[in-house]
Amino acid sequence: MTTSYDPEAIAAATLDATRHNLFIGGIWQPAANGASFAVNNPATNMPIAMVPDGGATETTAAVEAAAQALPEWAATPAPARAAVLRRAAALMLERQETLATIMTLEQGKPLSEARGEIAYAASFLTWFAGEAERIYGMTIPATQAHKRLLVLRQPVGICALITPWNFPSAMITRKLGPALAAGCTVVVKPAEQTPLSALELAHIFQAAGLPPGCFNLITCQNPDAFADVIFNDERVRKVSFTGSTEVGKLLIRASATTIKRLSLELGGNAPFIVFADADLDAAVQGAIASKFRNTGQTCVCANRIFVAQAIYAAFAERFSAAVAALPVGNGLAPTTAIGPLIDAQARAKVERHISDALEHGAELLTGGGPAHEAGAGHFWQPTVLSAAHGAMLIAREETFGPVAPLIPFYDEASVLHQANATPYGLAAYVYTRDLARVWRVAEGLEYGIIGINDPIPSTAQAPFGGLKQSGFGREGGPSGIHEYLEEKYVSLGLE
Ligand code: SIN
């Protein structure tokens, strides 16, 4: 394949093997036994870097380093903690182009989306720098005249942050920002597919002046040894995880041993509902933005697109024509809108969902197969299926790929019922111009995040998190920092 850019030359010019080590107690180091594993570029299916394969020894050392750093960081005045976060955010933005290129190389998303993610990731640091300065306590009027009732807010302690591959920077800073702002110290384990962006973040925090041991980073291929140490060590007070509901359930069980606080941002099955009174062009563009962001690999991507029967044919025609025009390719190419899927397993799931839907009566409007012409990676044609229904796998499970099933509906009550008929409750989208309906559906949808005429509601200022089996806890927004704070009640007798 000929390209106007050369992925190998870009990788050689951007990646620096000397930056790829474990970061423990402020010291960059290899795994004690020298083990390492390869990071692949999902667009070429070729290795681009080797990173250390940390295990129990390194994780234990990281917890020890976090424990040593904790008293001083927790006692550091909030404005000083905030200043470190602001410096780190500024350094991220200064290095935006390099960080975005590294992200595209290891994750595959189009460079324009990677640039956007770096800005999004930095915004969590800025937002939580502000929140650090607003960790207010409380006084409560007592019933007895000689008593004063106080509420203090203090850092939870050492936190383990386990992050996914689909947003290699932002899902770290959305946890790391509030943890450090609150005065906690952390041990981070990034996804094995995307450790390079995490390593760059650790370099940035070191350059921003974060004291050694506050941010420790363990890259590893198999999470079991890491999880074993984390869940059995009493000093680790909290675990924050973004990933599948299946793994979330395992972590809930594991957390029982030492009763850890958990924040879990798990799977979704987002409905995207287009009512007959919607602005059709905006709904088509919104559905594309929500469904095909990051090649359909976000927890909040539209998974089921419900369209009112009265506008179904018009929507299906415009939507499938626009989807068919989305360019698939290496994320480094400036024209690419759809990058590769992360791996063969992801592609197999997409394939399974499409064949199940076709077997159960769906009609293929565009796409439907691998996009081999885009390269050796796991590329898939952006796909639209018509006449989908709730019994299909594609409507029951999160596809996490570039496939949009259209489901016709007849009335508001039935679409609300169908939208809520899932164990998941992360994000939902509604397109309508009827204000009374806006209130009814916003109140009726059992979801933690609702975008009304807004396909991308995520932002650092707003709470992000799910209901039901999509998890618990909120990241971002004014409540985000409370996930990392303990509330301590003090009763003060004055006699
Ligand atoms: C996710 O996929 O979990 C994150 C998406 C977002 O922050 O919008």
Q: What is the pLDDT of residues 417-436, one digit of tens each?
A: 999 999 999 999 999 999 99
Residue 444 Cα distances to 287, 350, 426, angstroms:
21, 30, 14
Question: Ligand 1: distance of its center to the CA of 167 in Å?
Answer: 7
Q: Residues 328-351: what's their mean pLDDT?
A: 97
Is 265 a known active-site residue?
A: yes
> Could you tell me what percent of the chain has a pLDDT over 70?
99
Confidence check: pLDDT of 10 > 90:
yes
Average pLDDT, the chain: 97
DSSP string, 413-431: HHHHHHHH-SSEESEEEEE
Q: Which ligand 1 atom is at minimum distance from the Cα of 174?
A: 7
According to the model, what pLDDT value does residue 3 have?
A: 60
Confidence of residue 374 (pLDDT cuts 50, 70, 90): confident
According to the model, what pLDDT value does residue 495 have?
A: 82
Q: Give the three-state DSSP class for 218.
A: coil
Q: Which ligand 1 atom is at minimum distance from the Cα of 265?
A: 3
Cα gap 108→295, rounded to integer Å: 9
- DSSP 8-state code for residue 293: G
Cα gap 393→390, rounded to integer Å: 8
CB 40 within 8 A of CB 11: no
Cα gap 339→106, rounded to integer Å: 12
Cα gap 372→390, rounded to integer Å: 31
Q: Give, to the nearest 10 degrees, the angle between helix 435-444 and helix 412-420.
A: 30
Confidence of residue 7 (pLDDT cuts 50, 70, 90): confident
Confidence check: pLDDT of 30 > 50:
yes
According to the model, what pLDDT value does residue 1 have?
A: 46
Residue 465 Cα distances to 323, 435, 449, 454, angstroms:
29, 25, 7, 17
Question: Ligand 1: distance of its center to the CA of 242 in Å?
Answer: 9
Confidence check: pLDDT of 4 > 80:
no
Q: Residues 18-24: what's their mean pLDDT?
A: 96
Tell me which residue of 400, 397, 403 sits closest to 383, measured CA to CA.
Answer: 403
Question: Ligand 1: distance of its center to the CA of 177 in Å?
Answer: 16
Q: Which ligand 1 atom is at minimum distance from the Cα of 170?
A: 7
149, burial (CB in 10 Å: exposed 0-12, middle 13-18, buried 19+): middle
Beta-strand ranges (E) seen in 102-163 are 138-140, 147-155, 158-162
CA-proximal residue: ligand 1, atom 7 (nearest):
458
Confidence check: pLDDT of 198 > 90:
yes
- Pocket test of ligand 1: the residue of 120, 171, 447 to mutate, having most ligand atoms within 8 Å of its CB, is 171
Catalytic residue among 265, 398, 475, 483: 265
pLDDT tens-place string over residues 438-460 = 999 999 999 999 999 999 999 99
Domains detected in the chain: 7-266+471-489 (3.40.605.10), 270-459 (3.40.309.10)
Pocket of ligand 1 (CB under 6 A): 166-167, 242, 265, 298-300, 458
According to the model, what pLDDT value does residue 375 have?
A: 87
Question: Ligand 1: distance of its center to the CA of 211 in Å?
Answer: 29
CA-proximal residue: ligand 1, atom 8 (nearest):
458
Q: Which ligand 1 atom is at minimum distance from the Cα of 120?
A: 7
- Residue 270: both structure tokens together: 């987002």
Cα gap 380→402, rounded to integer Å: 7
Tell me which residue of 258, 249, 184, 152 sits closest to 472, measured CA to CA.
Answer: 249
According to the model, what pLDDT value does residue 441 have?
A: 98
Cα gap 123→141, rounded to integer Å: 37
Confidence of residue 207 (pLDDT cuts 50, 70, 90): very high
pLDDT tens-place string over residues 218-257 = 999 999 999 999 999 999 999 999 999 999 999 999 999 9
CB 384 within 8 A of CB 367: yes
- Pocket test of ligand 1: the residue of 240, 244, 298 to mutate, having most ligand atoms within 8 Å of its CB, is 298
Q: Which ligand 1 atom is at minimum distance from the Cα of 294?
A: 2
CA-proximal residue: ligand 1, atom 3 (nearest):
299
Question: Ligand 1: distance of its center to the CA of 299 in Å?
Answer: 6
According to the model, what pLDDT value does residue 467 have?
A: 98
